[in-house]
Amino acid sequence: MERVLERYERYLLCEGGDAMEEQHEETQGNLSYDHIKLRSRIEALQKSKRNLMGEQLESLTFREIQQLEHQIGSALRNIRSRKDHILLNSMEELRKKERFLTEQKSVLEKEKEALDASLHANAASSTAAEPALPNLNVCAGDSDEPGPPPAAIGLPWWMLRPPDANQQLERH
Residues 105, 110: Cα–Cα separation, whole Å: 9
What residue segments make up the domains of the chain, in order of their start? 8-59, 60-123
Spatial separation of the C-alpha atoms in residues 62 and 155, rounded to whole Å: 114
What is the DSSP-derived secondary structure letter of residue 146? -
Decide if pLDDT at 16 tops 60: no
Judged against a pLDDT cut of 60, whether residue 33 lies above it is answered with yes
152 or 71, higher pLDDT? 71
Q: Which of 3-12, 48-57, 89-98, 117-126 shows the lowest per-residue confidence on average (mean pLDDT)? A: 3-12
**pLDDT confidence bin for 21, thresholds 50/70/90:** low
CA distance 168 to 73: 100
Q: What angle do CA 37, 39, 40 make, to 5 degrees?
A: 65
Contact (Cβ atoms closer than 8 angstroms) between residue 57 and residue 51: yes
- Distance (Å, rounded) from C-alpha 9 to C-alpha 16? 10
- Distance (Å, rounded) from C-alpha 128 to C-alpha 157? 37
Angle of CA points 81, 82, 86, to nearest 5°: 120
pLDDT higher than 70, residue 24: no
CA end-to-end span of the chain: 125
DSSP type of residue 154? T
Q: What is the pLDDT of residues 38-76, one digit of tens each?
A: 888 898 889 888 888 888 888 889 999 999 999 999 999
Nearest to 152 by CA among 131, 166, 138: 138
CA 21 to chain centre: 64
The per-residue DSSP string of 107-159 comes to HHHHHHHHHHHHHHHHHHHHHHHSPPPPP---STTS--S----HHHHT--HHH
